[in-house]
Amino acid sequence: MTLPLSIDQITAHYGTTKVLEDLSLTVGDGELVSLLGASGCGKTTTLRLVAGFLQPTSGAIRLGDKDLTRLPAHGRDIGLVFQNYALFPHLSVKNNVAFGLKQRKLASGERDKRALEMLDRVGLAHLADRLPGELSGGQKQRVALARALVIEPPLLMFDEPLSNLDAKLRVDMRVEIRQLQRANGTTALYVTHDQEEAFSISDRVAIMNSGRIMQLDTPETLYQRPANKFVAHFVGFENLIDLQVTARDGEMVHAQTHDGGKITLSQERLGAIPDAFVLATRPDGLVVTNDASATGLPATLGMRTYLGRAYQYQCQTGAGQLIANGSLATPFESGAQVTLVPNPDQCAILQPE
């Protein structure tokens, strides 16, 4: 059995400091949603509220149609996986996994049988009698995963479960976590500060900033259609240019920066463009050219760095400092006067804030 999670307008404080403000979030039945954001933005706090280790100042948390808000943590029936594994150091691997079943008063034979089955699913049945201290990081996290899954919780929560593992293992483990979660169809809330990890593992991702969700969407939407400057910058749209429409010509829109830099964009590619807007571009989304007839932002090139697949330039423009990538075939020298032309494939249109 698995249930949808809904967090409804939660506000939370540590002492008098507000850490979460009016946070709402739903995770559909069997869906995996990630909370993604920099350290200190409130991801762990959100999980602790759902787990019941922290009480919200206001708001409600529901699992299916059960109201969790006032339920004690030990009665919530949620599988938790922590960054530092949190295995019981004095219990064998098998007894670690069987712990939750013991709390559910299962007979010891049945407990062992299920624990061993679950250990087999994570490929660790042969280590059942070891102590956690004798396992590698990856093995510990598999045991933690087995321990959380064996109680067949309606909701699984992960708090940066892969942060202590090395890069190669992180990729393997996230695939494994995703497969187990899919196979069981368990609703899951997953916390990470690693964008690639969040995007690869999730059905939807909530990008958080100082206690609020800035945007909750599929990875594709977040990556291509960020809703605001924060998310745009977070997913790599490093240039945010304020523009004003000066003329419209069918689908073609002519706009200019406050200092007169001109840009032409097509609504066919970018969707409707309001009169005042912000053009967000990735470094790859600004083409560097010395073709004097091109329509774009005039710029003076600053420092050039070599990225392997391209050169990256710091560009001084009337609209501020911008970052653009130029082809390896035509390198420009620092100090060159060029024009930056936006490439609509790497651009997004935002409302001004």
Partner 1 sequence: MATRIHPLLILMTIVVYIFLIGPLIIIFGASVSDTTFLAFPPQGLTLHWFENIWEISAFRRTIVTSFQVALLGTAMALLIGIPAAYALNRHRIQLPGWLSTLFVLPILIPEIVIGFSLLRSINVGLGVPVFFALLIGHTLLVLPYVIRVISASLASFDFSIEEAAISLGSRPVKTFFTIVLPNVRSGILAAFILAFITSINDVSVSLFLTGPGISTLPIQILAHVEQFFDPTIASVSVLLMMLTIIVMIIVERTLGLTAVTK
Ligand X SMILES: Nc1ncnc2c1ncn2[C@@H]1O[C@H](COP(=O)(O)OP(=O)(O)O)[C@@H](O)[C@H]1O
Binding of ligand X by 114 (CB under 6 A):
no
Q: Is 100 in the site for partner 1 (CB under 8 A)?
A: yes
- Cα-trace Rg, the chain: 25
44 binds Mg ion (CB under 5 A): yes
Which residue's structure tokens are 């053009």? Answer: 279
108 lies in the site for partner 1, by CB under 8 A? no
Site for partner 1 in 110-149 (CB under 8 A): 144, 147
What ranges make up the beta strands (E) of 107-186? Answer: 155-159
Helix (H) or strand (E) holding 170: helix 167-184
- Residue choice 1, 16, 89, 272 for contact with partner 1 (CB under 8 A): 89
Q: What's the CA gap between 190 and 186, in Å, rounded? A: 12
The dihedral of CA 107, 111, 112, 113: what is its sign?
A: positive
Residue 16 near ligand X by CB under 6 A: no
Residue 19 contacts which entry, ligand X, Mg ion, partner 1, none (Cβ below 5-8 A, type-dependent): ligand X
Within the chain, strands assigned E span 5-14, 17-27, 32-36, 58-63, 66-67, 78-81, 155-159, 187-192, 204-209, 212-217, 239-249, 252-256, 262-266, 276-281, 286-289, 297-306, 311-317, 320-326, 337-342, 347-350
Q: Is 49 in the site for ligand X (CB under 6 A)?
A: no
Note whether 317 binds ligand X by CB under 6 A: no
Quick one: which of 156, 148, 152, 150 has its CA closest to 114? 150
Q: Does 39 participate in binding ligand X (rule CB under 6 A)? A: yes
Task: Kindly state whether residue 192 participates in binding Mg ion, applying the rule CB under 5 A.
Answer: no
Instruction: Out of 41, 122, 173, 188, name the contact with ligand X by CB under 6 A.
Output: 41
- 169-207 b/e (C-beta count within 10 Å ≥ 16 → b): ebeebbebbbebbeebebbbbbbbbbbebbbebbbbbbb
The listed partner (ligand X, partner 1, Mg ion, none) that binds 88, CB under 5 to 8 Å by sort, is: partner 1
Of the candidate spans 95-103, 176-184, 235-243, 296-304, the one that interacts with partner 1 by CB under 8 A turns out to be 95-103
Verify binding: residue 161, ligand X, rule CB under 6 A: no
Q: In the range 254-313, which residues lie near partner 1 by CB under 8 A?
A: none
| Half-sphere exposure (Cβ direction) of 120: Cα atoms closer than 13 Å | 6
Stretch that binds partner 1, among 72-80, 169-177, 193-201, 210-218 (CB under 8 A): 72-80
By CB under 8 A, which span of 23-31, 87-95, 160-168, 295-303 interacts with partner 1? 87-95
Closest separation in Å from C-beta 106 to partner 1: 11
Helices and strands of the chain, counted as H and E runs: 9, 20
Q: Is there binding between residue 14 and ligand X (CB under 6 A)?
A: yes
Q: Which residues contact Mg ion (rule: CB under 5 A)?
A: 44
Q: Which residues contact partner 1 (rule: CB under 8 A)?
A: 14-15, 51, 53, 73-80, 82, 84, 86-90, 99-100, 103-104, 144, 147, 151
